[in-house]
Amino acid sequence: MRRSPNITVLMCGIVVLALGVLLVLGAGGTIDLRFAYTVPVIVAALGAILLASGLASRRRGRG
């Protein structure tokens, strides 16, 4: 039987990758990584993970 990927874990990986890329760009001076810009990014990452987790849970519930 085919196993579907765990969407929550997948989203966590994508979010960590995106944060890593942002940190690298910030360290290199390509983008301006101030506190006022970092906080929304972290909040958005948390929101994306929660959203993916909720959608995955609803999908499992539907069977």
Place of tokens 């499992």: 60
Considering the rule CB under 8 A, would residue 60 count as an interface residue with other proteins? yes
Considering the rule CB under 8 A, would residue 54 count as an interface residue with other proteins? yes
**How far, in Å, CA of 53 to CA of 24, rounded?**
27
Considering the rule CB under 8 A, would residue 48 count as an interface residue with other proteins? yes
Binding window for other proteins (CB under 8 A); candidates: 14-22, 23-31, 54-62: 54-62
Contacts of 41 (CB under 8 A, 6+ apart): 19, 22
User: Of the candidates 1, 14, 17, 22, which one interacts with other proteins according to CB under 8 A?
Assistant: 1
